[in-house]
Amino acid sequence: MLGREIDVWDFDEGATKIRRFLRPRKVLLVLDDVNHSDQLDYLAGKEDWYGFGSVVIITTRDAHPLVKHGVVRRSEVQVLNTDEALQLFFQHAFRKGYPEQSYRDLSNQVVKYAKGLPLALKVLGSFLHGRDIPAWESALAKLRKVGDAEIFEALKISYDGLDDHEKNIFLDIACFHIGYNKHKVMQLLDTCVFAATIGIDVLAKRSLLTISDAGILEMHDLLREMGLEIVRRESPDEPGKRSRLCLEDDVIRVLEKNRVRNFLQQ
């Protein structure tokens, strides 16, 4: 925003620089996926941070930060209605605005399960694209078995359909490489004996990964959370036994445990 590289040593200093820069200007500010009130305190501030006529839009899956910050005008995003959900699902499952006649009833069942959530419709549709009716029936049977309490299980069906190399690529990107250049990540993954080029292409076609026009790897927050949860479930109580350490707290926990163990051995 400042148009140049600057060094910021703490949150208060950064907030001060943002406030000084924005105060005389009429701005449109969008803060996406806010999950803590501190983010609003340091990035959105108060109304006197901006020039007259400015608009601040905040998206979040937790209303508490908005309440705590005093945001008055709040609106809950509605899920897709049945017709909208069907159209979105058809586009991903059949690559057109209508289904094959023999798949119509199965399509209605998938859409009913997804409950109007666009991400689930895209992921499930991309996963089922080109598959025969028995494969659709098998996927629906699995959805019914796990229940509909967590969208995690619906998204994980597409992950389960990947081969081992593709699963590793997905988990590596979810844990470490979101926001990085596609080609640099491919070079890194290829050193791990992963077929990165075709693997990333498969993930993108299944809507598990998106690539920006600038070649940056991006992933929906729910998909990233699914990846982190898959890794966590490898060993819920012992981070050191997982295939990856994705979170800073887990890294610190493992290092501290190893330090204590080495001390006791000495």
What is residue 261's predicted lDDT score, i.e. its pLDDT? Answer: 64
Burial of 19 (0-12, 13-18, 19+ CB in 10 A): middle
The pLDDT profile of the chain, 266 residues, written as one tens digit per residue, is 667 777 888 888 888 888 888 888 898 999 988 888 899 998 888 888 888 999 999 998 888 889 889 888 988 888 899 999 999 999 999 998 888 889 999 999 989 888 788 888 988 899 999 999 999 999 888 877 765 455 777 788 889 889 999 999 999 999 999 999 999 999 998 887 678 889 999 999 888 898 999 999 998 887 888 899 899 999 988 988 999 998 888 899 888 887 656 655 65
pLDDT at res. 263: 54
CA distance 226 to 159: 9
Q: How many CB atoms lie within 10 A of CB 248?
A: 8
Q: Cβ neighbours of residue 200 under 8 Å, at least 6 residues apart?
A: 169, 173, 182, 185, 186, 209, 211, 217
pLDDT score of 150: 55
What pLDDT score does 1 carry?
Answer: 65
Q: So what's the pLDDT on residue 63?
A: 84
The structure's pTM equals: 0.64
Nearest one of 178, 136, 172, 160 to 245, comparing CA atoms: 172
| pLDDT for the residue numbered 134 | 94
| The residue to which tokens 């979101």 are assigned | 178
pLDDT for position 148? 45
What single-letter amino acid sits at 164? D
Which domains, and CATH codes, for the chain?
11-69 (no CATH), 82-148 (1.10.8), 164-247 (1.10.10)
